[in-house]
Structure 1
């Protein structure tokens, strides 16, 4: 497979180069495949429930072809996924795709564990360490740290915004030792991301160290997140005649979105044949993408702190990939777009619990709010000509191609639950009056000593630290 660059389509590199480099240091662009091969029809047309690991292997094959033999790729996938995503039906037309059953209780485990094993595979004969730099707004860092911990030949530096993630999330980040270290930056996620991106285009640093990324900047983290979109949509399709009393429903993926890597992974799965009719881009007060969809103007801005902190991103990196893959008119046809504020997040947790009994986290709560509004008159109002004020919480006014399926009650929603509610216990308790159950693997972390290193939001100081430490 050949990979090109979002900023220069003349660039052509192989999978290994895209993975190890993370992004193109010459242009600052992100790597994307030049094509998206269709999955085997034997899997797409099967009437039986799919196997997650079989889906993962068949999706990964074309992107690694000629560089990772199928036998080795299968071993990577088997080792990466001792867990799978779980599709939980919570009402007649709604599923929750639980993506928190991995070691760090967040969806980032799916991408990070595959990426770590692929990087280790490509680095196995290199004498010099590969240095991973990653910015996190919550769960990325812990997933990456866990995936790479004690992996030979690779070390990891995680940057997170001090005081702007949940206490449990910070504990997950600040307690790593050995080849994984965390820097608590006096700033926002966007500041952390800017420090990392600047390092990648710093010629002096790159001449001295082998640097790579582990955010959704890196294609090897983005591609495996597509596995659960393919798996969940095929599973929902197989279940529909019995579970939803629908023979061929339109499947709508409702995606809590910050840096928009997760949603981009869904677009890749759709291109490969996943039976997904459309997407809902659901975000918090950091509404850069909804504003772009509403107005046609993309304007990055400083991030705003919210209860759904993993989505506190004002300059989403994967906008570049979406804009490289589709025109704005195509995006408006595929996406419904929705945002809400902190009051809406609390209300979403409350209403989901009240109506279904399901305890959802703040990010999933935004997906719930979006889907519930869409199916209960919101989409029909748009079809009839309603013009919503995009500066206020709610749906943007574009009408996606799948709108009539909603009105005709021939659609099911899959809400992506990207983290265990226990990681946001205080917010969940504020909403429903009780603490969520804390998984044992999270309880153990709370007693570990903090190891995080303070860092100013100053690139020169960050660079000096890298030069002295790596």
Structure 2
């Protein structure tokens, strides 16, 4: 499998080159030259295979000869070493829980898979790899944990000042070792802009073998396809139309789901559920892509106005708004609506949503009310454990949220944080990076 830049389809690179580069030289995101189609027999018998076999079948065509099948399987086994429960909430509505990994967020899968790939490549090239990543919350913790003490790799994380929860900050700043966090006095889009500029900066490129662990990197983005296959495996016998609602910030997760559908997974429709940072809901209505200044919300991982991965979605649907609307709706919801639905779902169904999953649920309900299809099986992605956003949860429910044992130590830790504070100034960041 080869990959081209969305800015230039003529220059092709291998999987390993795309992973190590992160972002193409011209600033475009990498995209596979074709999408492999899975055999119908495999899809129809998905429940007969274990999760490692399924993941191998899905991801191997995208890697090709860059990593041996034996090594890919080892990476998969280390990545998918926690459960992915599908919980029925009510009627035909399910929550796919993606928060049972080490940092209690869906990004653990992509971070661990990418760490395995980079560790494999380091053994071949023998040169220190610097992972530079921007985060709006959960990516930072997942990348920090996934890459902590991995030989040959250092990680630099940029996150927005007062833009992440206390727990998310601790997950990034308390590990030390090869993990360094930088607090930027700006928002996520500012952090992401600095990362993208660094990738195109020859002075920085001359000093570092630089790559990214955001979902702009194919090794972070593509493994997210696993979620959709694992969910389908559990409900295949229902033989209903399948709809997914995905809490969406940088749109990598939902884009991976759309790739899974293009590979043959029978998904009828997608809902991109957002908070009030509503660039894509507005785009689908007006056909005008007009990001507005980022507004802070209680679903901070989605406080993104310019989602990088939407360019992949737009490309996937041939830059046709007509084609895209056949597969995607997008709705935005306020903090007030988010808190109200968290309370309602707990009261009526005894299920605790986090603010991001709550928005996924809201999007699903709105879509189902519009189409009125009783034969649809509807799944929303619950992307993080509610304990990560305890200060933003309804006050009346906070005592109901149990702290997972793996987090008790971190929450009560007096270990000093390792971070740097920096203004939102690329020249200052460049100077620090070159002279550190």
> Quick one: distance in 2 between partners of 1:325 and 1:179?
36
Match of 1:332 among 325, 335, 353: 325
Partner SS, residue 82 of structure 2: coil
Residue 442 of structure 1 deviates from its aligned partner by 1.4
Length, aligned pairs only:
432
Q: How does 1:210-229 map to 2 (within 5 A)?
A: 210-229=209-228
- CA distance in structure 2 between the aligned counterparts of 1:430 and 1:287, rounded to whole angstroms: 27
1:368 and 1:76 mapped to 2: Cα distance? 32
Report the alpha carbon displacement of residue 456 of structure 1 after superposing the two structures with TM.
1.1
**Aligned partner (choices 246, 249, 264) of residue 255 of structure 1:** 246
Select the residue among 429, 453, 465 that pairs with 2:420: 453
Unmatched tracts of structure 1, length 5 or more: 241-247, 380-402
1:313 to 2:304 alignment: yes
Task: Tell which deviates more after alignment, 293-302 or 39-48.
Answer: 39-48
Which residue does 1:374 correspond to in 2? Answer: 367
CA distance in 1, matches of 2:46, 2:263: 18
SS in 2 for 1:434: helix
Contact 1:352/1:368, CA 8 A, preserved across alignment: no
Does 2:148 correspond to 1:149? Answer: yes
Task: Identify the match of residue 397 of structure 2 among 432, 445, 452.
Answer: 432
Instruction: Quote the offset at 1:211 in angstroms.
Output: 0.5
The SS at the match of 2:243 is: strand
Residue 17 of structure 1 and its aligned partner are, at CA, apart by 0.8
CA contact (8 A) 1:429 1:436 kept: no
Task: Give 1:265 shift.
Answer: 0.7
Correspondence 1:109 to 2:76: no
Once the two structures are TM-superposed, the CA of residue 86 in structure 1 deviates from its matched residue by 1.4
SS at match of 2:233: helix
The farther-off stretch of 93-102 and 41-50 is: 41-50
Equivalent in the alignment of 1:15? 15
* Pairwise CA distance, 1:445: 1.1
Alignment partner of 1:283 is 2:248: no
What's the CA shift for 1:439? 0.8
Q: Under a length normalisation based on structure 2, what TM-score does the superposition of the two structures give?
A: 0.96
Matched with 1:412 is 377
Query: Counterpart of 2:42?
Result: 43
Question: Could you list the per-position Cα deviations for residues 430-469 of structure 1 after superposition, in whole angstroms to 9, with x for gaps in the alignment?
Answer: 3635341111111111213211111111101111111122
**Secondary structure at 1:103 match in 2:** coil
How far, CA to CA, are the matches of 1:178 and 1:263 in structure 2?
A: 33
Give per-residue Cα distances to partners, 1:195-235, cap 9 Å, x unaligned: 10110111111122111000001011111000111111232
Show CA shifts across 1:258-313 (max 9, x none). 00011111011111111211101100000001111111011122211000000000
Distance 1:18 1:361, change over 3 A: same
Pair 1:324–1:31, CA change in 2 (3 A): same
- Match runs of 1:264-303 below 5 Å: 264-303=255-294
Cα contact 1:364–1:416 (8 A) shared by 2: yes
User: Which residue is equivalent to 1:464?
Assistant: 431
1:66 aligns to what SS in structure 2? Answer: helix
Partner of 1:189: 188
The 2-side partners of 1:204 and 1:197 are apart by 14
- 2:284–2:329: 8 Å Cα contact kept in structure 1? no
Classify 1:423/1:49 alpha carbon distance in 2 versus 1 (closer, same or farther; 3 Å). Answer: farther
State the match for 2:408 in structure 1: 443
Alignment match, 2:337: 344
Task: Give the Cα separation in 1 of the matches to 2:105 and 2:296.
Answer: 20
CA distance in 2, matches of 1:152, 1:163: 31
Conserved? CA contact 1:38–1:273, under 8 Å: yes
Distance, in Å, in 2 between the alignment partners of 1:277 and 1:11 is 34
Residue in 1 that maps onto 2:231 = 232
Say whether residues 1:79 and 2:78 are aligned partners: yes
The reply on whether 1:354 has 2:347 as its aligned counterpart is: yes
Q: Corresponding residue for 1:304?
A: 295
Q: TM-score, normalised by structure 1?
A: 0.89
Q: Deviations over 1:238-261 (max 9, x none)?
A: 3x2xxxxxxx21110100000001
In structure 2, distance between residues paired with 1:221 and 1:431 = 37
DSSP 3-state at the match of 1:172: helix
2:431 and 2:358 mapped to 1: Cα distance? 41
Deviation at 1:317, TM superposition (A): 0.5
**What is the CA distance between 1:364 and its match in structure 2?**
0.4
Would the alpha carbon gap of residues 277 and 194 (structure 1) be closer, same or farther in structure 2, given more than 3 Å must change?
Answer: same
Runs (4+) of structure 1 moved beyond 6 Å? none
Distance in 2 (alpha carbons) for counterparts of 1:435 and 1:281 = 29
Contact 2:108 2:142 in 1 (8 A): yes
Rounded Cα–Cα distance in structure 2 between residues aligned with 1:178 and 1:57: 32
Structure 2 stretches of 5 or more lacking a match?
A: none
Which shifted more, 459-468 or 93-102? 459-468
Question: Residue 326 of structure 2 aligns to a residue in which SS?
Answer: helix
Tell me if the contact between 1:234 and 1:274 (Cα under 8 Å) persists in the aligned partners. Answer: no
More off after superposition, 445-454 vs 422-431 = 422-431
